[in-house]
A and B are shown apart, each in its own frame.
Chain A
Amino acid sequence: MAATDLVGIAVTTIILGSIYGLVAIGMTLIYGTLRILDMSQGSMVMVGSFVGWGILVVAGLNPVIAIAAAFAATFVLGVLTQLVSVQPLMKRRNAIDFEMVTFITTFAVAMILTNVALELLGPQQRNVTPVISGGVNIYHGVNLPYQSMAMAIVSIALMAGLGIFLARTRWGMAIRAVAQDLDAARLMGVPVGKLYPLTMGLASALAGIAGVFLGGLYFAYPQAGDLPLLEALIVVIFGGLGSLPGTVYAAYAIGLIQATAEVLVGTTWSLPILYGVILLVLIIRPYGLLGKPSEARL
């Protein structure tokens, strides 16, 4: 392996890991708090891409507005998703099939959002203006687009911001408290009826912001969320469901595996190799890298 390959792998790892992390960390937050695997997160990426396209291309406004609009739109959508597909089921929270049932209802929301987008906007792939254009040659032909760099920086900043929010703020601590002991949190006065939709809105908004950037890297189209959803699923399960640090490590680990596989065997085989690695990891560590059988969360 030449030095350029190594630099290329390092750069790709950081970029991929940051995107995966941003989408996956929301799923972890939701799983830790509500005990559901939110299958609608991919559609939030898609909606974010379309909002980015609408603001940047159709309306010709600036990227900051695009990011703010994507955040707002997907936050609202996330809250609505919770109210429609999860809240009515919360009374069955302790049933053995709760995870399965909410997996299906959030999946139904994903199906609805994807296909509403298909009906309204058509199947075409829309070019989204990169938030920042151009790039820099960092090492003998290894090109780093500014868009990717900005995306990595914003993702890392958002993940750090989420960490601070959870560690330091009143509502952030309340989210962790609910994740760890629901009844005790209620006895402290935490209004879970508001907190659940808020958590899902927040997680969806992170995915929405990721969507604006991903739209600039690829395209905005109705299925734009499918691949990010799969990748985020791999990351959260690889890292151990409900473990935030595990999710961040896993995001970069998966980024590294994929970047290495792309260099060594080409793009076609990188995804199956990734899945092969997942198969092995799950056989060896049934609860992912940092996951625990069930109790420990967030």
Chain B
Amino acid sequence: MSALPNKAEPTPAPPAVMRSAVTLPAFPDMTPARWTVTSALVALAAGIPLVMTNQYALSVMVTTLILLVLNISWNFVLGVAGVWNFGQLAIYALGGYGAGIIMLHTTVSPWLAVLAGGVVGTLAAVLLAFPTLRLYGIYTSLLTFAFAVVIQYVIVNDGSGLTGGTFGLPIVKGLYSSLSLAASARAYYWTALAVVVASTIVLAAVGHSRLGIALRGVRDAPAYAAARGVSPMRYRVIAFAVSGFLAGIAGGLYVSYNQSISPSAMGLTPMSIDVTMLVIGGLGTATGPIIGTILLAIVQTSLVSHPGAELTILGIFLLVVVVFVPDGLAGLAARYWRRISAWAAEDDQSGEAAGPGEAAEIPEGSPDPNVA
């Protein structure tokens, strides 16, 4: 999946403003130092299952990583494209059910089944995108949420036995049925981590590509973007498709790892937790979903025996972050990081190679790259 080099692809009517000859850097925020730190963190994360012997902790981590894939997909449509899509969990569940049903009733490779989950997710998302095109903000949220409720009811009340109703699908094989319990947990961990890393990189690149700029333009200044020839319709459908594919993959991973899926995977409570994760982390940023999901997974796990207190604390957290830290923890971190590096740059006058580049970037390091 190459997001960027597609620029040569002939499109029907490329808007003039988008046709600029300037090559957009895929990762303008990434300095060599940051790449090094990021790679080290990924390597560290990949090493965890090698030293972690606690099976419960590992299973929590796998679940969190799969949830993170879902949250990354949701962040793309909710944060980057700014579409109030509250049907994402239904798309995720459809992907899961699609993959699960294929694993259950056919003999094709479970990997293909997971991929099929992604395709189901894409189709469902595109289908959902069309009716939202004419809607505005809150109306979109109701329509997409209505979609989710209808899907959930259809799954619960399915008379044909395909979905298994409230109880969900019977046991499916999953990706690593031949491995031992401990080995398969590790394998799932690495698989989910790989998907997280790949999707973060791809979506970050997409975010800085023409598509991403167009999406943010449509989000922040719809009239202006439309006047510059950016079709809100086309870009919204693409955003839904990309995000739906990833959500479907997340659903496929979920059904493989849990060897089942039931309607409780969607619904109001998981949705509120996911929204909280995204908002606390920082909607629309690349690192936000990662920070929010991991942080809240830790909070949730440590409060697991007090269900009331858990959500109360999440609620307070959410309130405080939205009121006092409008751009989430990722935004907060970025601001402090900028202040620290500005301070370091002041101190270190003789900075070379990386120095001048970074120093030049600091004053105009605006957090929201508007089209205007």
Binding site for B on A (CB under 8 A): 37, 84-85, 88-89, 92, 96-97, 99-101, 103-105, 107-112, 114-116, 118-119, 222, 226, 230, 233-234, 237, 241, 268-269, 271-272, 275-276, 278-279, 282-283, 286-288, 293
Contact = CB atoms under 8 A, between A and B. Distances in A.
B342 interface: no
A279 B142 CA distance: 9
Contacts of A287: 136, 139
A88 B319 CA distance: 11
A269 B318 contact: no
Interface of B: 82, 84, 131, 134-139, 141-143, 146-147, 149-150, 153-154, 157, 219-220, 268, 272, 275-276, 279, 306-312, 314-316, 318-319, 322-323, 326
Contacts of B134: 283, 286
Contact of A271 (B136, B149, B219, B308): B149
B139 A293 contact: no
A286 B315 contact: no
A279 B157 CA distance: 20
B221 to A, nearest CB: 8
Contacts of A119: 306, 308-309, 312
A278 B319 contact: no
B319 A112 contact: yes
Q: Describe A's contact surface by its main secondary structure.
A: helix
27 contacts: A85-B323, A89-B322, A92-B326, A100-B137, A101-B322, A104-B318, A107-B318, A108-B318, A108-B319, A109-B319, A112-B311, A115-B315, A116-B312, A118-B307, A233-B142, A241-B138, A268-B157, A275-B147, A275-B149, A279-B146, A282-B131, A282-B143, A282-B146, A283-B131, A286-B136, A288-B139, A293-B136
B92 to A, nearest CB: 19
A287 B315 CA distance: 30
A237 B319 contact: no
B146 A275 contact: yes
A22 B149 CA distance: 23
Nearest to A87: B323
A286 B322 contact: no
Given A99-B138, A109-B315, 7 more contacts: A103-B138, A112-B319, A230-B149, A234-B146, A268-B153, A282-B139, A283-B134
A105 B139 CA distance: 18
Given A89-B323, A100-B84, A112-B319, A278 B308 contact: no
Contacts of B319: 84-85, 105, 108-109, 112
A111 B322 contact: no
Q: Describe B's contact surface by its main secondary structure.
A: helix
Contacts of A97: 82
A234 B275 contact: no
B137 A99 contact: yes
A282 B136 CA distance: 10
B150 A279 contact: yes
From A108, A112, A275, A278, name the one whose CB has the most chain B CB atoms within 10 angstroms: A108
Nearest to B141: A103
Contact of A278 (B143, B306, B310): B143
Contacts of A269: 153, 157
A241 B135 CA distance: 13
Nearest to A39: B272
B154 A282 contact: no
A37 B157 CA distance: 31
A282 B135 contact: yes
Contact of B142 (A88, A96, A100, A278): A278
A226 B268 contact: yes
Contacts of A233: 142
B138 A37 contact: yes
Given A237-B139, A269-B153, A115 B311 contact: yes
B275 A237 contact: no
Nearest to B317: A108
